[in-house]
């Protein structure tokens, strides 16, 4: 299947990740220490011996484009393999920003027309999983399908977030519901499709509908040519702060099923600063590290427990980081205490600051559906004052400095540039 082509959708806003996507696209969010979310899909592509990939970007794409580069980090560059990045054609008279997943592919139909494979894969860049796409394509061909959707059972209370399928004994989809509040099935779409190339072209040219889940799949269902490919491995949609934190914590749990190393997940070590220039981890004599990922270039003088640290993090003497995610080049000051906190890149946490301590039951007042379980999120390049107390379910905007902070940030509140 070396001629198999794919379109990777990587342009979503990802608003439920809140300030983590203030300055980057969702697929470009750092994950698991040294990776970014999109690395999982790109690695699956490379590990499946695919040869041609179009990455469709849109929202704040610069860091994502820098990360992908020429695709060589995933063995997708050279004469026979390539990654092509397609930004939206904004500004042309007959084009607009993508109005949905199907519209994004339609606006790049030239790539589909030029592909030499009989099938086209449509993939998402914001899920964490491992899959050999060759197995799914073989299933598609064996069934004689025109469309195949990768599916996985999810908890019934989560079905409203997904397209769900009712199937018959042959795995043919006989009924489809898109994000129904009362779904008939908990067999959820993973956002991974195999289309017969010519059939996809026909569907997109005969209609102007915008979305695969809402429009294109129901249309194909009328012709009884849509099948569900069963997937039973680890898979997580990390589109919310809670899911993002959960997936990072899963890496620390050997029984969870996620293991980026054994999955051969690759990344661009040069994007955002060369990882290979980072020195080894430095651990002071009185430091304590337990059940954590500590990336190259980190210096640990305090305590780190059940946490994920990206390259270049410094945890100073007397500081404690527990159940947290700390991104690149943050400094945790002496005596600071962090609990269930997600800290974006290049943040300076002042000495004796207390973060994530308080009543986890007080949801964030401005974004109660984003932060409700006790997590606190600190934006990129913010400087947290010495001695401050920041509660749970708090949002601290990027690029803030001491003058905008109150003396205490109570649980469930936010600190922004315009409103202390």
Q: What is the model's pLDDT at position 1?
A: 57
Tokens found for residue 190: 């993973």
Q: Tell me how far apart the alpha carbons of residues 20 and 230 are, in angstroms, rounded to a whole number.
A: 32
Where exactly does CATH 2.160.10.10 map onto the chain? Answer: 278-415
Q: Tell me how far apart the alpha carbons of residues 62 and 12 are, in angstroms, rounded to a whole number.
A: 14
pLDDT tens for 289-314 read 999 999 999 999 999 999 999 999 99
pLDDT tens for 42-68 read 999 999 989 889 999 888 888 888 899
Q: Tell me how far apart the alpha carbons of residues 284 and 288 are, in angstroms, rounded to a whole number.
A: 9
375 Cβ neighbours under 8 A, 6+ residues apart: 241, 242, 245, 340, 341, 342, 356, 392, 393
Q: What rounded mean pLDDT belongs to the chain?
A: 91
89 Cβ neighbours under 8 A, 6+ residues apart: 95, 107
Contact by Cβ (8 Å): 257, 249: no
Tokens found for residue 411: 């649980």
The candidate with the shortest Cα–Cα distance to 124, out of 66, 63, 55, 61, is: 55
The candidate with the shortest Cα–Cα distance to 2, out of 42, 47, 39, is: 47
Q: Tell me how far apart the alpha carbons of residues 204 and 119 are, in angstroms, rounded to a whole number.
A: 15
Contact by Cβ (8 Å): 200, 112: yes
Is 3.90.550.10 the CATH classification of the domain at 5-251? yes
Is 1.10.3720.10 the CATH classification of the domain at 278-415? no
pLDDT over 90 (residue 374): yes
The residue among 330 and 106 whose pLDDT is bigger is 330
Residue 157 vs residues 126, 154, 236: alpha-carbon distances, Å: 21, 8, 15
Would you list the DSSP string of 365-395? Answer: SS-TTTS-SS-EEE-TT-EEPTT-EE-SS-E
Interval 358-370 mean pLDDT? 94
Q: What is the model's pLDDT at position 274?
A: 57
């Amino acid at each position: 299947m070396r001629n198999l082509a794919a379109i990777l959708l990587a342009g979503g806003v990802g608003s439920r990740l809140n300030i983590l996507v203030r300055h980057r696209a969702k697929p470009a969010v750092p994950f698991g220490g040294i990776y970014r979310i999109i690395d999982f899909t790109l690695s699956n592509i490379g590990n499946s011996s695919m040869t041609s990939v179009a990455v469709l970007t849109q929202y704040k794409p610069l860091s994502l484009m820098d990360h992908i580069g020429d695709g060589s980090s995933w063995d997708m560059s050279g004469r026979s393999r390539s990654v092509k990045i397609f930004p939206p054609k904004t500004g042309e008279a007959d084009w607009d920003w993508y109005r949905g997943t199907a519209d994004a592919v339609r606006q790049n139909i030239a790539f589909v027309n030029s592909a030499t494979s009989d099938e086209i894969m449509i993939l998402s860049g914001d899920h964490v999983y491992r899959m050999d796409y060759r197995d799914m394509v073989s299933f598609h061909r064996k069934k004689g399908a025109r469309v195949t959707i990768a599916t996985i059972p999810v908890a019934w209370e989560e079905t409203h977030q997904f397209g769900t399928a009712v199937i018959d004994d042959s795995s043919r989809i006989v009924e489809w519901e898109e994000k129904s509040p009362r779904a008939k099935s908990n067999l959820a779409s993973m956002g991974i499709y195999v289309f017969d190339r010519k059939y996809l072209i026909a569907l997109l040219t005969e209609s102007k509908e915008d979305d695969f889940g809402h429009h294109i799949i129901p249309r194909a269902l009328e012709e009884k040519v849509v099948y569900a490919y069963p997937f039973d491995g680890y898979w997580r949609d990390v589109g919310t702060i809670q899911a993002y934190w959960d997936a990072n914590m899963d890496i620390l749990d050997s029984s969870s099923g996620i293991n980026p190393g054994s999955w051969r997940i690759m990344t661009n070590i040069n994007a955002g600063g060369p990882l290979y220039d980072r020195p080894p981890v430095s651990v002071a004599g009185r430091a304590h590290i337990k059940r954590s990922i500590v990336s190259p270039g980190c210096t640990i003088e305090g305590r780190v427990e059940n946490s994920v640290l990206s390259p270049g993090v410094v945890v100073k003497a007397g500081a404690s980081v527990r159940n947290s995610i700390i991104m690149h080049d943050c400094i945790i000051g002496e005596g600071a205490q962090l609990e269930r906190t997600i800290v974006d890149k290049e943040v300076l946490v002042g000495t004796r600051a207390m973060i994530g301590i308080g009543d986890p039951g007080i949801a964030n007042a401005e974004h109660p559906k984003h932060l409700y379980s006790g997590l606190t999120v600190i934006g990129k390049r913010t400087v947290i004052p010495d001695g401050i107390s920041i509660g749970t379910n708090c949002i601290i905007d990027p690029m803030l400095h001491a003058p905008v902070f109150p003396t205490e940030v109570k649980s469930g509140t936010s600190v922004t540039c315009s409103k202390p």
